[in-house]
Structure 1
Amino acid sequence: MGEASPSAWLPQAVQELAGRLTTYIAENAKTARAFLKLVGTAGPLQDITIHTLDGKVDAQQMKAWLQPLLAGGEIGLVSEAGCPAVADPGARVVALAHAMGIRVAPWVGPSSILLSLMASGLDGQRFAFHGYAPVDPSERARQLKAWESISRKQDQTQILIETPYRNEAMFQTLKQALNDTTRLCVARSLTTGDEWIRTCSIAQWKKAAAPDLARKPTIFLFLAGRRN
């Protein structure tokens, strides 16, 4: 997803809740503050505590952050993009909260995985999100073929992302590695004015002009057709 006004993708009730909380757990404090500045806060932004959830944080540290909740407090968990704990390290915090007997309340937010699946026309009953494919071109092609095989056998939509500056290389590999009958959806800059989503067969993509994906947040989805 890209940058856009919260009113376009976040319900008013969620914005109001986000604005009144005084403590957060976030993967990146800087972007979390930018988000809070957009939605507006009841008190001064500088008075809001933001715990940074990076790879160095262990269970003991997270437990210390969550300890005030046992006395009835509230802490917000905010994702870098979209739904917390869905393809997001925040799942570690949620798991620990359950282990500590702390109530977890999910609030709706945009997920590029679900938004792109909704708009793709591909199978929304069976799908798998893989994150990133290998960077090495030959390994990447092999992995895509393996996912296509699973897709064909299980009628399962395959979903993956790529670093924005490698989007065009990924698109070319998808066209080269996948079968002509496989349907590929490309979803770019979701929730923004530059949003663009299109699903075609690989054969159709090979004939079409390449979409502008350079350095733009993009998610790829594909579904293989069954062979007779």
Structure 2
Amino acid sequence: MAEDEDTRADVAGATDEAGVLVLAGTPIGQPGDAPARLAEELSTADVVAAEDTRRLKRLTTDLGVTITGRVVSYFEGNEQRRTPGLVDDLLAGNRVLLVTDAGMPSVSDPGYRLVAAAVEAGVRVTAVPGPSAVLTALAVSGLPVDRFCFEGFLPRKAGERSRRLADLAAEQRTLVFFEAPHRTEAALAAMAEAWGEDRPAAVCRELTKTHEEVRRGRLGELVAWAAEGVRGEVTIVVAGASPAAAISTDEASLRAEVQAREDQGMTRKDAILDVARLAGLPKREVYQAVHVR
């Protein structure tokens, strides 16, 4: 009887210890790209929280894995409601595995809310590193990779999108964005408007999948290409601005730079675009400096 009581005490003590939250990267296209640890974590986790349980089922079938733990849905529409329960699972000593449809949880996918709550509760958070559309697109873009920043999805509304791009006009690091296929043309057009049509960029579509395509060119060229329609999951990579020190950004200097280009035979429109590109400014700021006095 004493041994049974001791055993029960040990079990109770174990459940009082916090568990572990595991963020698992999943393939962005080819199931074979899944890290080896993913199958192990899926088969041993006490709880698997999935952005889409149907996609999870397809993934486990591809990997030949049987999930023995509890499966719950965890997506944008229910993550606020589901997070407290998952934290309770963690505090009870469970190993909770979080997977999203593709790539790393919390990177433009559900997960940040749960990570923040777990950290606040003193729970250990770790990850199974896996494929990333951000890094894959950056690597194949042909653009500088030594310094970059990830901006996620641009705002859907045109005005908010323009303001976001204006804020990034002087950013010298390579920029990476996610975009929906039906908004790709509008996003590229807004970038060309804000940063100039000559800014180098790459549109990466359906990365690692059968119909993978990487279209490289100037923003103006890519706008024309996207006008024909874009399908699949899209990642856009854009070169950073040229060093702002190349041109002074006070209004008098901007006017002088535009005038100098006009004197050399450039149209005013092209002169403004060139100065905006070199100064790392939105085109409209140079336009206002030239026309509003």
1:191 Cα deviation (Å)? 1.6
Contact 1:185 1:197 in 2 (8 A): yes
Q: Which residue, out of 144, 158, 170, partners 1:150?
A: 170
The residue number in structure 2 matching 1:216 is 232
The residue number in structure 2 matching 1:169 is 186
The residue number in structure 2 matching 1:191 is 208
Contact 1:77 1:90 in 2 (8 A): yes
Q: Distance in 1 between matches of 2:178 and 2:54?
A: 23
Q: Distance in 1 between matches of 2:136 and 2:228?
A: 20
1:90 Cα deviation (Å)? 0.2
Percent identity reads 28
**Any gaps of 5 or more consecutive residues in structure 1?**
none
1:189 Cα deviation (Å)? 0.6
Q: Distance in 1 between matches of 2:122 and 2:100?
A: 22
Residues paired across the two proteins, number: 219
- Structure number with bigger Rg: 2
1:76 Cα deviation (Å)? 0.6
Deviations 1:165-196 (A, max 9, x none): 22233334444543244211211111212222
Deviations 1:19-45 (A, max 9, x none): 33352122333333333333232357x
Q: Secondary structure at the match of 1:97?
A: helix
TM-aligned CA distance change 1:150 to 1:79, over 3 Å: farther
Q: Secondary structure at the match of 2:95?
A: coil
Q: Distance in 1 between matches of 2:218 and 2:185?
A: 17
Deviations 1:38-71 (A, max 9, x none): 3232357xx7422434344437x42322333334
The residue number in structure 2 matching 1:101 is 122
Q: Distance in 2 between matches of 1:204 and 1:167?
A: 13
2:41 aligned with 1:20: no
Contact 1:186 1:221 in 2 (8 A): yes
1:12 Cα deviation (Å)? 2.1
Q: How big is the alpha-carbon RMSD for the aligned residues of Structure 1 and Structure 2? A: 3.2
Q: Which residue, out of 61, 84, 87, partners 1:63?
A: 84
TM-aligned CA distance change 1:125 to 1:55, over 3 Å: farther
Q: Distance in 1 between matches of 2:179 and 2:106?
A: 19
Q: Distance in 2 between matches of 1:13 and 1:2?
A: 13
TM-score, length basis structure 2: 0.62
The residue number in structure 2 matching 1:127 is 148
The residue number in structure 2 matching 1:79 is 100
Contact 1:127 1:159 in 2 (8 A): yes
**Any gaps of 5 or more consecutive residues in structure 2?**
1-25, 247-293
The residue number in structure 1 matching 2:76 is 54
Q: Secondary structure at the match of 1:166?
A: helix
Deviations 1:117-145 (A, max 9, x none): 22223343433322332334465445434
Contact 1:2 1:191 in 2 (8 A): no
The one-letter code of the counterpart of 2:31 is P
1:17 Cα deviation (Å)? 2.3
